Amino acid sequence: MKIITAKDYAQLSKAACDIVSDKLKKISQPVLGLATGSTPEGLYECLIERCNMGEISFRNATTFNLDEYVGLDETHPGSYQYYMKEKLFNHIDLPIERANVPSGTDADLEAHCKAYEEKIREIGKIDIQVLGIGVNGHIGFNEPGTSFDSRTHVVELDPSTIEVNSRFFDSIDEVPGKAVTMGIQTIMDADEVVLIISGENKADTVAAFMESDVTEDFPASILKKHPNFTLIVDEAAYSKVQTKA
């Protein structure tokens, strides 16, 4: 595990942007695994700026997003398809047909999960997977107790996840109770994994991650076993770690 400590969110976002940009420059047909939420927004702003300046290009890239809420289509402002278009896809030169986000409205979600997994398998592998982390240690929407062997699947969201994510909706009652998510094994199959964590509100989570055993009760703990894993964390989020690396 490599740890990069950033002074603040801006520095954290740039560090993540440098790593993703390097993949775009060095790999002829890069496959990117993308995340949503507030933490990656700075990363995406940086990537957009570099793309518009001609420093990087997404023309030959393919992307796979981690997850999507069940019941929300791409026109819903709370959906991750909507988020990705607004925060990244609409502003870069990525061919939209190569931007893959799970569907939360497919008539047969189980079949859709298998098809999404197969599409990843057909392309070979994800070259770099960007992750955030939930306060309870979830990655993607793989809540505590999810099997480390899991593949893309439908999951019941933990009440703590629903509560935290309610800030993106008008009320907590509007937050869907289910989601489609890449499985933990799918994430671990990526060639490289980058976990970005920012803010004082994640300090307890970072401390738990650093100090916990590898256990399905804290899904992100499995990342410690990935051979090419980087944690990028700002000072606020790293503040409660007792033994600094």
**Residues catalogued as catalytic:** 67, 136, 138, 143
Integer-rounded Cα Rg, in Å, for the chain is 17
Number of H helices, E strands in the chain: 7, 10
Instruction: State the helix-helix crossing angle for 41-52 and 9-26, rounded to 10 degrees.
Output: 50
Amino acid in the structure at residue 200:
E
CB proximity list for 25: less than 8 A, separation 6 or greater: 56
What is residue 163's three-state secondary structure? helix
Distance of CA 76 to the CA centre of its chain: 20
